[in-house]
């Protein structure tokens, strides 16, 4: 549902009875505070929030509360936990789709079938955050289509957003949710309905949804799950929130279980809790033994492992000056991430360099230095198709940069 077209009313408009028009440029300070406080509730970095989405959410909430001035709305927001929760709902990123990242689901299928061969009890699965439900339904459909009866696994799905959970329970989908299903009628788990496609009833009934915040250490019971999917969450979190959520997930993962992260979620800060499971492109993690006693060694300079590169550290490209504190913070994050990626690459830490590059590209999709560095990184598991796609994207942006196109 798109937000209404209303809302800040100028003095002249009030006198003349004209239709109110929202002037987002006049709400810069209010947006900065809203971004900071809302992000803190979810443990997110404010710079990872979409500025346009913030403006749209502010417009929508001002219209809903019949307030005509951003400062007045901010006062209401400060005093109302209910309004803070509703505003947060509007800015959370819920983009997802069925069977998002085919490589992950291929590895999930392989690992799950091996697990079922070794265990007689039901597998316990968690999807958190589950957004609007595409991921948990994809897992349920994948296992059923692999010949696993529903009584052989339980599937729980959590999310911070009540609106996302309402959509997940309704289980009706259109558009981008189906982008990986070119022929939904042949999927085997969807039924045609008047307004899209709906997950079959027996799968809808099998997934248990509930609202929860993974920042709460009591959200999950200890060692409750054999498989946890928590993709594209840690990328958005502050350093403190990342570790807190990672601790919660680690305590909830069974000793022989697996945690599946997103492509840019992994970082060396998780080394004391988890270790990567091969193949690494599935980003499957397993618990480290006696993880509380494991110390992460401080990297030592390795002259023999230094990578020769023609890439330059971006010292000659200062951060553009801007009067917008929110944008300044985001630009600083991009510069710091790329510098860290370059330094990791020079140390020969290609996995870490790739993760940091991908994190930078989350903030700025067309960040040319990160695309160039990503193209330099040699990953044995990368498919020819992946390499061709990256180099085609790089060529496109190099051409645009040469022409002065601000793309």
Structure tokens at 10: 């100028």
pTM over 0.75? The answer is: no
Q: Which residues contact 210 (CB under 8 A, 6 or more apart)?
A: 156, 157, 158, 165
Taking the C-alpha atoms of residue 120 and residue 142, their distance in angstroms, rounded to an integer, is 19
User: DSSP characters for 23-52?
Assistant: -GGGGHHHHHHHHHHHHHHHTB-GGGS-HH
Nearest to 157 by CA among 99, 115, 208: 208
Strand, coil or helix: what is 249?
A: helix
Q: What is the largest CA-CA distance in the chain?
A: 75
- Report yes or no: 387 and 365 within 8 Å, Cβ to Cβ: no
- Report yes or no: 256 and 226 within 8 Å, Cβ to Cβ: yes
Nearest to 74 by CA among 58, 90, 53: 58
Structure tokens at 304: 């023999």
Taking the C-alpha atoms of residue 5 and residue 275, their distance in angstroms, rounded to an integer, is 49
Buried b or exposed e, range 267-281, using 16+ CB within 10 angstroms: beebbbbbebbeeeb
Residue-wise pLDDT tens for the chain (407 aa)? Answer: 433 333 233 333 333 343 343 444 456 788 888 888 888 887 887 777 777 888 888 888 899 999 888 889 989 988 888 888 888 877 776 678 999 888 889 889 999 999 999 999 999 999 999 999 999 999 999 999 999 999 999 999 999 989 899 999 999 999 989 999 989 999 999 999 999 999 999 999 999 999 999 999 899 989 899 999 999 899 888 889 999 999 999 999 999 999 999 877 887 788 899 988 765 555 788 998 754 444 444 444 444 444 444 454 444 444 444 444 444 444 556 677 778 888 888 888 887 787 778 777 766 767 777 777 877 775 555 556 556 666 666 677 667 666 665 44
Q: Listing from the earlier edge strand, what are the strands of the sheet with 153-159?
A: 207-211, 153-159, 123-127, 225-230, 253-261, 284-287, 274-277
């Amino acid at each position: 549902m798109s937000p209404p077209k209303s809302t800040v009313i100028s003095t002249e408009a009030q006198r003349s009875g004209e239709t109110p028009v929202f002037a987002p440029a006049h709400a810069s300070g209010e947006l900065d505070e809203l971004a900071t406080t809302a992000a803190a509730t979810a443990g997110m970095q404010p710079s990872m929030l979409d500025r346009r989405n913030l403006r749209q959410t502010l417009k929508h909430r001002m219209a809903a509360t019949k307030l005509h001035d951003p400062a007045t709305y901010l006062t209401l927001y400060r005093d109302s936990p209910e309004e803070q929760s509703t505003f947060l709902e509007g800015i959370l990123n819920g983009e997802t789709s069925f069977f998002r990242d085919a490589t992950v689901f291929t590895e999930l299928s392989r690992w799950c079938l091996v697990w079922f061969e070794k265990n007689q009890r039901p597998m316990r699965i968690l999807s958190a955050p589950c957004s609007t439900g595409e991921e948990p339904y994809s897992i349920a459909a994948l296992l059923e289509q692999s010949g696993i009866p529903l009584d052989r696994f339980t599937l729980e799905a959590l999310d911070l957003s009540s609106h996302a959970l309402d959509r997940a329970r309704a289980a009706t989908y259109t558009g981008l949710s189906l982008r990986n299903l070119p022929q939904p009628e042949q999927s085997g788990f969807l039924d045609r309905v008047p307004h899209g496609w709906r997950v079959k009833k027996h799968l809808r009934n099998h997934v248990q949804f509930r609202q929860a915040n993974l920042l709460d250490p009591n959200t999950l019971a200890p060692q409750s799950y054999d498989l946890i999917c928590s993709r594209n969450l840690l990328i958005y979190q502050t350093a403190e929130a990342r570790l807190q959520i990672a601790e919660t997930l680690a305590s909830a993962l069974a000793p022989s279980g697996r945690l599946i992260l997103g492509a840019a979620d992994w970082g060396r800060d998780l080394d004391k809790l988890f270790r990567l499971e091969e193949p690494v492109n599935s980003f499957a993690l397993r618990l480290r033994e006696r993880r509380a006693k494991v110390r992460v060694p401080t990297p030592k300079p390795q002259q023999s492992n230094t990578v020769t590169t023609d890439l330059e550290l971006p010292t000659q490209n200062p951060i553009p000056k801007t009067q917008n504190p929110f944008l300044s913070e985001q630009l600083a994050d991009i510069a710091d991430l790329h510098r860290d990626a370059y330094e990791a690459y020079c140390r020969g830490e290609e996995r870490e360099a790739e993760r940091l590059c991908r994190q930078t590209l989350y903030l700025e999709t067309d960040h040319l230095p990160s695309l160039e560095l990503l193209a330099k990184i040699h990953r044995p598991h990368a498919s020819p198709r992946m390499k061709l796609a990256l180099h085609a994207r790089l060529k496109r942006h190099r051409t645009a940069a040469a022409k002065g196109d601000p793309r």
